[in-house]
Structure 1
Amino acid sequence: MSEQNIHKNKETRGFQSEVKQLLHLMIHSLYSNKEIFLRELISNASDAADKLRFRALSQPDLYEKDAELGVKLSFNADAGTLTIHDNGIGMTRDDVIEHLGTIAKSGTKDFFAKLSEDQSKDSQLIGQFGVGFYSSFIVADSVTVNTRAAGAPADQAVCWHSSGEGDYSVEDIEKASRGTEIILHLREDEKEFLSEYRLRDIIGKYSDHIGIPVFIQTAERDEEGKETGTNKWEQVNKAQALWTRNKSEISEEEYKEFYNHVSHDFAEPLAWSHNRVEGNQDYTSLLYIPSKAPWDMNNRDSKHGLKLYVQRVFIMDDAQQFMPSYLRFMRGLIDSNDLPLNVSREILQDNKVTQALRKACTKRALTMMERMAKNDAEKYQTLWNEFGQVLKEGPAEDFANREKVANLLRFSSTHSEVAEQTVSLADYVERMKEGQDKIYFLTADSFSAAKNSPHLEQFRAKGIEVVLMHDRIDEWLMGHLPEFDGKQFQAITKADLDLSKFEDEEEKEKHKQTEEEFKSVVERTKSYLGDRVKDVRTTFKLQDTPAVVVTDENEMGTQMAKLLAAAGHDAPEVKYILELNPEHALVNKMADEPDEEAFGRWVEMLLGQAMLAERGSMDDPSQFLAAVNKLLA
């Protein structure tokens, strides 16, 4: 029931523009799963209790440790109100304005960008983006929040009220107890939530596993089942933290529901792992792999998904010390009995227990993915499509597990020639030709650019598979992944590429003779280009293409230079080697040209074509165009 409050110092404030959009969406669009509002509000109340327990470690006078923390639900059918009351940390006036008047996350635009016409999917985004409180307006035409921060006097409580339009009011009130009371004034067509049985059903479905009791106000009945006219509080949920229970007692559905609670994600997880470890270390971990990437996953500074508990006391969200950055998409918690209750992020940084737990959690997460890749390729492909870009950070970040991470990587290749990344490095090695001792790869801006690269011509002719890498991170990845399964990686755009082992003696002799005959053309081309290129050579890896440019083995590649430039860094100039195909008609026409000026035009055209194919641009397009126009004329 609502407490009696004395109101003063009232002010009306406008919502942040993104909140206006969000409220409009809640009120007018998201009706597919209306009951989520209660799950979100109870989950927020549970968080408030966790925060109070943590704050009380350093300020024990904030609450009596023996006093039971909980959530109470009551409703008034006549007034059409549903009230959710907790005795957790509460909020100050500044907290109320910050948390209920704005959306602090910078990704609000991403939230709206992800919305679609599929409202069932849209509702899954609500908790993920930290806007769960506003789901109240799916069922309520106005919401009142009365709150008092733990440790604050009774006359420093605050009342927040809004009808979900453009503004809200804030005023000081007196409130007898700490915590937060949310009063929902339900719409006429949402009165189903004024039913004890409906509320019990929702609590059992979504909140059975949270660590504090949830009470519902129910009418007392006599022995004949008739209401006596008085009310009592009855606990509805188990109120036992799920991870503390025996695995054999927990159903699959309960694990999924707990994932929804701990991650604020309404989609089902792909997999989870629940482990209790005793011995040198004493801890419990419950790790989940989500089925959808969080909106800010590509930001390496984004919040990690693990919560830290010490002896079942909540300590912190975003416990990034327990999982490497390339696994930041993992969700769940770790509950340690070895860390002190007053542990801070600074203490965690260099703590030996932390390092051991990080190693164990990383191993557990990678094992989950390995099993999925081995036993359910379709499900693993879903994982890869969502999180593959982040997993590619692993070999550079986690040397100890580099081989394990490499086994999890997926790419496109010339074997299937589809853009979807489905080929593992183990698949590639298994299909290697007899005598092949290197893994050949090509990096490019896009799958189309990779698939149609002239560098692939001889590989296709000889039936040699090439890994096609077209993610921006791939060039950087290959700088930290020199080998796999004892096989060296070889970029096919490098000058040290040697395919002679796949040629017979007759071919080798023919190429040697052609190279000797073509020496004068190479020298003539070098003389014309001067220091515009690092070198000019003949190549026999081409069929339909007259020329390509390549880089030395230790020279920065094109894609890495583009990556650095896109990041705002000064990338060193890449010096290319021009390779000419002596068996191509255009190259032979150039070679036979006696006029030096006309010869120069042929060189400009061939170099320009090669640069376009490799970089998608050239230093002086006008010079190339002038040469082509004169040749055509």
Structure 2
Amino acid sequence: MSSTIPPAEAAETPESPGGAGLPEPVASSFQVDLRGLVDLLSHHLYSSPRVYVRELLQNAVDAITARQAHDPGAVVRIRLSAGAGRVSIEDTGIGLTAAEAHSLLATIGRSSKRGGEHGLETTRQEFLGQFGIGLLACFVIARRIRVVTRSARDPQAAPVEWLATDDGSYTVRELPHEARPEPGTTVHLEARPGAEEWTVPAQVEQLARDYGSLLPYDITFRDTSDGAPDDAAAAPRPITDRPAVWDRPYPTPAARRTALAGHCARLFGFSPLDSIDLDLPVAGVRGVAYVLPEPTSPAHRSGHRVHLKGMLLTDQADNLLPDWAFFVRAVLDTDTLRPTASRENLYDDETLAAVREALGARIRTWLAELAASEPERLAAFLRVHHLGVKSLARHDAELLGLMLPWLPFETSDGSMSLEEFAAAHTDIHFTRTVEEFRQIAPIAAAHGLGVINAGYTYDADLLALLPAVRPGIKVTELDAGAVTDRLDPVPAEAELALTGFLSTARIRLEAQSCDVVLRAFQPVGVPALHLDDRQARQERDRVSAQESADSLWSGILGSLRGSAPRARLVLNHNNPLVRRIASIPDGELAGTAVESLYGQALLMAQRPLRPADSSLLNRAFLGLLEWATHSAGTEGTQK
């Protein structure tokens, strides 16, 4: 086959580029290697040979669309059949003349929908095909294509046979009138070796249902393979199933929900928690979103099912909904969104961006309606998908205010909503890590300190918005000073008696950039508490980097030293073990015991250990073992 460029279009300059006296350029035609082009389509444009069924259906539907524009009263139908390595499709569409068969079927890139002599530009928006590839895609599975067609625009024209093979050759001949009495087209495909699996009747029928169940014209399928039953079971089976399940009338809302749940189970393989209508008439979009019954990761991009004018475009559209709507799978039909060149995904342009925003607003409205009128359904939804709602609410203060009574948070008072927690605490503190929260939560609860675990995804962002939604509430990140101030001070005389021990403890932990304070707090079973904050961690990281840097960077890092607070080891004076350690007369042993308390507090906080911390833990452990074994040996000798 060749793609012809008319000479008048090939040379538009008024004079020869070679100058006066030189011969005029000769217009020629591009030559196209069909097998190379088919290989390109198979491996780089189309994701699978399965698309050939879509191309057959698409051409038939477009032919009927053109026929109805020409003759609104015409009877239209599409019949698909398969068997014995062959696939056929017959339509009562517009058909072609011999000249049109030469021009349109054998010229790559030319489409009858482009307007001009053979086109119907006034109805172009009704066509599915947009790129003029036509039957070429069928060569991904066929070694030969035979087209028998008769034009509805020229009733006197004879039927035409167009016969092409995958080596790039074709023939066109006129047939007797009885070969095709009515206008329309029949396409016969003969599978090439190795592609027979794509012509198995069950496979063809399933592909036709996937692609064409929502097409606007009646389509039937028949198994014509050898051995196929001839009784009523082999009668043509309907492929189309219209109207779409979301557009059908139902006696009650409950009946509609049941029907939609069944549709979701058949289509996606799960029973949804709920369904959300996605109806945007202005944008030409109609469909439904199904809420997943299990939690899913925010990083997961769901594949949505999109039909273009009834024809399945893709079941893996990941750019249809906002990223935060990862808790739904959608299926819809559109007549406005643009397909990519392969017609296997949506072109991401301004129109799609506007539709995506509108669909996101529809899901948001559904949440608001649940909160206002069906709190039980909302609670069931949030038990599974609170993460998705948090993702949305962090960009929408109004929605956050609406969801406050429902969104769960982990707090020092237990799991509860922000609304409940804010009612009990006007000063709210939060931790940025789960480990920090788990260490401080029991102590904060015992001393009336309101702390929220913001170590989970989106929680810190939502807490930052809380004062704007609930004026009068103060939200701050938890720091060592705030916790220490809430703990009970030790009587002055008791702390004075332990001055020597506290001095020893501070000296031993100076290398860890950690201060030591004495407080009395609950629960009694906690001997020591390691308190840290972001500024203290940044200062430790700076010191560590300074120690390992060369002289230039060491000087620069040294100049960055500020007055950032240091970490604190808070010793619990209520704990009997701490009091016994404080009374040890041996200063070296007391220092080793303090290092052990420091290591135990780090482990309880589940913080990553620095090399210096690991070294301290080893030293303290071995020191205590040496003291214990030495003491045991001394007692044995005395005995």
Query: Shorter chain as normaliser: what TM range?
Result: 0.5 to 0.7
TM-score (normalised: structure 2): 0.53
2:460 equivalent among 478, 486, 495 = 478
The unaligned stretches of length 5 or more in structure 1 are 1-43, 76-80, 89-147, 159-171, 186-198, 219-226, 558-573
Q: 2:621 corresponds to which residue? A: 625
2:322 is the alignment partner of 1:329 = no
- Encode CA deviations 1:5-64: one digit per residue, 9 max, x unaligned: xxxxxxxxxxxxxxxxxxxxxxxxxxxxxxxxxxxxxxx99987667778x7xxx99977
- The letter for the 1-side match of 2:596 is M
Check 1:86–1:47 CA distance in 2 against 1; reply closer, same or farther (3 A cut).
farther
- Encode CA deviations 1:372-396: one digit per residue, 9 max, x unaligned: 5676666556544544555555566
The 8 Å contact of residues 428 and 450 in structure 2, kept in 1 or not, is answered as: no
Check 1:604–1:468 CA distance in 2 against 1; reply closer, same or farther (3 A cut).
same
Q: 2:264 corresponds to which residue? A: 259
Deviation, structure 1 residue 287 = 1.7
Check 1:423–1:299 CA distance in 2 against 1; reply closer, same or farther (3 A cut).
closer
- The letter for the 2-side match of 1:257 is G
Q: 2:322, 2:256 → 1: CA distance?
A: 30
Q: 1:316, 1:586 → 2: CA distance?
A: 67
Deviation, structure 1 residue 268 = 1.7
Check 1:371–1:229 CA distance in 2 against 1; reply closer, same or farther (3 A cut).
closer
Check 1:515–1:243 CA distance in 2 against 1; reply closer, same or farther (3 A cut).
farther
The 8 Å contact of residues 210 and 242 in structure 1, kept in 2 or not, is answered as: no
1:216-615 aligned at under 5 Å gives the runs: 233=236, 235=238, 238-243=241-246, 251-261=256-266, 264-278=267-281, 281=283, 283-293=285-295, 297-298=296-297, 300=299, 302-309=300-307, 312=310, 314-336=312-334, 338-340=336-338, 349=348, 351=350, 353-369=351-367, 371-372=369-370, 383-384=381-382, 386-388=384-386, 393-394=391-392, 409-413=407-411, 415=413, 423-430=416-423, 432=424, 436-438=426-428, 443-444=433-434, 453-462=438-447, 467=452, 474=456, 477-478=459-460, 481-484=463-466, 485-486=469-470, 487-489=473-475, 494-498=479-483, 521-544=501-524, 545-554=526-535, 576-615=567-606
Q: 2:297, 2:394 → 1: CA distance?
A: 16
Query: How many residues in Structure 1 have an aligned counterpart in Structure 2?
Result: 440
The 8 Å contact of residues 428 and 451 in structure 2, kept in 1 or not, is answered as: no
The 8 Å contact of residues 303 and 318 in structure 1, kept in 2 or not, is answered as: no
Q: 1:156 corresponds to which residue? A: 143
Structure (1 or 2) with the larger CA radius of gyration: 2
The 8 Å contact of residues 72 and 85 in structure 1, kept in 2 or not, is answered as: yes
- Encode CA deviations 1:550-605: one digit per residue, 9 max, x unaligned: 21254569xxxxxxxxxxxxxxxx97432222343333333333432112112111
Percent identical pairs in the alignment equals: 15
Deviation, structure 1 residue 152 = 1.8
Q: 1:323, 1:292 → 2: CA distance?
A: 19
- Encode CA deviations 1:434-463: one digit per residue, 9 max, x unaligned: xx4215568536xxx97xx45234433346
- The letter for the 1-side match of 2:327 is F
Q: 1:512, 1:349 → 2: CA distance?
A: 70
Q: 2:461, 2:239 → 1: CA distance?
A: 56
- The letter for the 2-side match of 1:272 is S
Q: 2:57, 2:294 → 1: CA distance?
A: 32
Q: 1:69, 1:466 → 2: CA distance?
A: 68
- The letter for the 1-side match of 2:533 is D
The 8 Å contact of residues 259 and 265 in structure 1, kept in 2 or not, is answered as: yes
CA RMSD of aligned residues (A): 5.6
The 8 Å contact of residues 322 and 354 in structure 1, kept in 2 or not, is answered as: yes
The 8 Å contact of residues 298 and 326 in structure 2, kept in 1 or not, is answered as: no
The 8 Å contact of residues 379 and 406 in structure 2, kept in 1 or not, is answered as: no
The 8 Å contact of residues 269 and 290 in structure 1, kept in 2 or not, is answered as: yes
- The letter for the 2-side match of 1:177 is L
Check 1:315–1:72 CA distance in 2 against 1; reply closer, same or farther (3 A cut).
closer
Q: 1:538, 1:86 → 2: CA distance?
A: 87
- Encode CA deviations 1:209-254: one digit per residue, 9 max, x unaligned: 7877563669xxxxxxxx9999863648643334555788983333
Q: 1:271, 1:380 → 2: CA distance?
A: 10
The 8 Å contact of residues 87 and 189 in structure 2, kept in 1 or not, is answered as: no
TM-score (normalised: structure 1): 0.53
- Encode CA deviations 1:167-224: one digit per residue, 9 max, x unaligned: xxxxx9xx92389543469xxxxxxxxxxxxx9xxx9xxx987877563669xxxxxx
The 8 Å contact of residues 324 and 362 in structure 1, kept in 2 or not, is answered as: yes
Check 1:622–1:254 CA distance in 2 against 1; reply closer, same or farther (3 A cut).
same
Structure of greater relative contact order (alpha carbons < 8 Å, 6+ residues apart):
1
- Encode CA deviations 1:110-143: one digit per residue, 9 max, x unaligned: xxxxxxxxxxxxxxxxxxxxxxxxxxxxxxxxxx
